[in-house]
Structures are given as C-alpha cells and as structure tokens.
A and B are shown apart, each in its own frame.
Chain A
C-alpha cells in the first residue's frame, strides 16, 4: 500500500487478555517504530527496528509488552495480560533510513475494559 497500514483499527479487550497489533510499513522502509499516544502521557516511544533487529527497545513499559519484526517488513506488537492503563492509540511508523522522514500509520485504538 501507499502508506503505513495498521490493524486492527479499533480493539476493545477485557482486562487480563492478550492483544496483538499489526503493522505493515511502507514498502522498502528499513526502519520501523512503535509509539503510543494517550491523553495523560502524550506521545511515547516504545521500540525501534532496523531490519529485523531492535537496537532500541527502551520505551517498552513492562515485560508484558513485546514486539517482533519478520522479513524486514511486518511487525507485531503484543501486549500480554492487558491492564486498563494500556488503553491508548498505538502508532506504527516507518522510514526509508534513519535520517529520513518518519511516516505514521492511522493507529490502533486499544480500549481495555
């Protein structure tokens, strides 16, 4: 596709359940990023991939959060045992290289009830 694609666009889950969020970056983009946006915390970095490796995962808030990227393309962010404070918009982004424009997807809106 032309832009960064994320799914699902909306997800309501019960507290304690696991969720998987998917990101399909712009074709050819080697760098992939996950951020989240919430009213209370603003925009926060979670993890960055260069190819399939994650040189910077310093923003993952707890060990309930993990992410992987396969084939240098699609990435999955997994949240285990979701808590209400995990409710946020999870934004995926990609760039051609590290000093290029970073393009964001439309986000996955996660609500934990």
Chain B
C-alpha cells in the first residue's frame, strides 16, 4: 500500500528566509503532484513531476523529484507572506490512473 509522508507538518518562517518541504513515498510511482490550498478554498495545482530528476520552478517555489530515493522536495526561496498556505504532495498509486494518495499537508506560515 502506497504511503505518502510530508514533513514538516507545520512550518513557521520569517519573510526572506529559505526552507524545504519534504515528501517521501513508499512504493514506485511515475507521477508526483504538488498543490497549494488556502483556508476554505480548493486545491491549486503547482507542479506535476513525471520523471526522475525532474525540476520545475515557478516564482519562489521549486520542486524536484528523485524517483530512486522516492523523494520530492518543494523549496521556498526568500519567503513572502503571500506564500502562507497548506502545501500537499500527492503520488499516483501504482497500477491506477486516478488514485492520488495525498500527504497530510504542510501548513506554512510566513511572518514579517
């Protein structure tokens, strides 16, 4: 059974600092997704990572995937308050085309 673990679950940062969120998964998968969720809102797609070594960047966020280590990272550069949200990674279960297994989410708070 595929398990997805994120850490940390809670992260309080100061503006301008850098930090990394980690996403480990337990079995082989060919797809990993990162989402952002604001309170009371739905999930906003950030990145889709499809191959080993994939790296994608959007603004202050950069995601990478190491399929051999079963690890994805979401790196935050020079955090700003607007990045405060909950970030989820999700991995497609093997043999499935629709069963995304989500991590518990990382609640990020960026303080001035």
Binding site for B on A (CB under 8 A): 31, 33, 35, 42-43, 45, 47-50, 55-56, 58-59, 91, 93, 98-107
Binding site for A on B (CB under 8 A): 31, 33, 35, 41-45, 48, 50, 88, 90, 93, 96-102, 104-105
Q: Evaluate whether A101 and B97 lie within 8 angstroms (CB atoms) in the complex, with A42-B102, A43-B102, A91-B42 already known.
A: no
Q: Give which listed residue, A48, A50, A101, contacts B99 with CB less than 8 A.
A: A48
| Docked complex Cα distance between A109 and B56 (Å) | 33
Q: Evaluate whether A98 and B100 lie within 8 angstroms (CB atoms) in the complex, with A43-B88, A91-B42 already known.
A: no
| Docked complex Cα distance between A59 and B45 (Å) | 22
| Docked complex Cα distance between A48 and B44 (Å) | 19
Q: For B35, give the chain A residue with the smallest CB separation.
A: A104
Chain B residue contacts of A59, Cβ below 8 A: 99
Q: Evaluate whether A102 and B88 lie within 8 angstroms (CB atoms) in the complex, with A45-B99, A45-B101, A56-B96 already known.
A: no
Q: Give which listed residue, A42, A101, A107, contacts B104 with CB less than 8 A.
A: A42
